[in-house]
Amino acid sequence: MNSGEYPFRDLKPASVWKHFAELCRIPRQSKHEEAVRDFLKQWASSQGLENRVEAGGNLIIKKPASAGYENAPGVILQAHLDMVCQKNEGVEHDFSKDPIKPVVRDNLVLAEDTTLGADDGIGVALILAAFEDKTLVHGPLEALLTVDEEEGMGGANKLEKNVLSGKILLNLDSETWGDFCLGCAGGADVIVQRTGRAEPFPTAWKALKIDISGLRGGHSGINIHEGRGNAIKLLTRILCSLERQFPLCLSSFTGGTARNAIPREASAVIGIQEQNMISVSGLLQKWQDRIMTELAGVDEACQIKWSTTSADKIMSSFDQRIWLLSLNAAPHGVWRMTAGTCSPETSNNLGTINLQSDTGTCTFMVRSTIESACNALTGEIISLFMLSGIQPRRENAYPGWAPDMNSPLLALCRQIYKREFGSEPATHIIHAGLECGILKSKYPELDMISFGPTIHSPHAPGESVEIDTVEKSWQLLQALLKAIAIKA
């Protein structure tokens, strides 16, 4: 592959950007990682590296130690193969076959209208560069490249317990350079489904399509405390307001693309009486002004648009009432902050909705560093919908990762970082799910830490990665591998 075909010709380190360019060409949507996994398996074989796909679908690659360091502690380099696939409204991009189209702008590599996949493609690229480099000093290395991280951490959950031998794990799925991650939130999903009864669209009524777009969206853990607008919650408020003032029927309501991304867009098709069209338009304009005031300085590009359309079916009034009232009451955002910090402890994201005239589904993702708090909030959501006769499901629960402030690896990382970059690194516990929590539960003896380059707006179109922090991450990775080997 000629990395010059992508806009990475002059970027350093060349080996890392070469591998990231390859990843941008290969579809790697969650639960559909076969193509990228097969490609990397063939690459590993071409490098003479032992590799296998274990029972959970994860790819493991092994590299022998540098000469003289065979007895050093084994190190596992870990990243996930899949990416969140989101695009802006009206953009033609098929994530099942189309390559990502990155551009270089100043100190950023970004995708303008889709997600970039730097989360966690850059982590994978760093690992491949380390396994390819014959000059690195290191002990025995294992690469653990997991599948389905973004939709429930399925690969980590299904990982066999006897396939890894390393004692140290470096997770390369962090998104703020210079800030070591020492722990993470656990979480769980709540899935709400209901089958209803469709009715004919009322004779002589007009169908109106209402769209909300232009919101920033973002990662449902990292950005959840920033007050960004949730398109589903905003449109629910609008529909409830219209319903209180005018006869209204609901034909459909859709929004969001992933349970772990704050919804940027939502749309609904409603039916209203023709004589109320002008009044409804006036109220929608007031909502545009109201939302712009509420989201000033946070989501100033939000737009509400409406136009006439057609519809054949509507929900029954009973189903409509259940859904709108339940969604309006459903929590979204930070539930509780971590005491004495600016970081969320527990939060929830209303991530997707798909209501049609006779069926409906919505999804929530709850995160918390405290398991009992996660259970409490998922319980509240489930109880809310049970009051309406719906039985939600709690799925994809995963453990958090408790920090070990006495970790020898943490002490070494601080020492090497200060030596290489002349300053003390920051440390944090991230309000997002890392596979480290699951891996720690399966391999409790592992000493682990997470780091990586700075990535902006992961899980949203316009996602970008800072170029200079990729080079620094590569410098740190090389230095750490050498220090671990020599220290032994």
**DSSP secondary structure string, 263-292?**
---EEEEEEEEGGGHHHHHHHHHHHHHHHH
**Cβ burial 157-196 (10 Å sphere, 16+ → b, else e):** bbbeeebbebbbbbbbbbbbbbbbbbbbbbbbbbebebeb
Which pairing describes strands 426-430 and 179-184: parallel, antiparallel, or unpaired? parallel
Where does 113-263 have alpha helices with state H? 118-132, 154-158, 231-245
Whole-number Å distance between alpha carbons of 191 and 343: 26
- List Cβ neighbours of 179 (8 Å cut-off, separation of 6 or more): 425, 426, 427, 428, 451
Residues designated catalytic: 82, 149
Peptide bond preceding 202 in cis form (omega within 30 of 0):
no
The answer to whether the CB of 212 falls within 8 A of the CB of 266 is: yes
For 36-74, give the secondary structure using H, E and C: HHHHHHHHHHHCCCEEEECCCCCEEEEECCCCCCCCCCC
CA angle 348/260/101 to nearest 5° reads 150
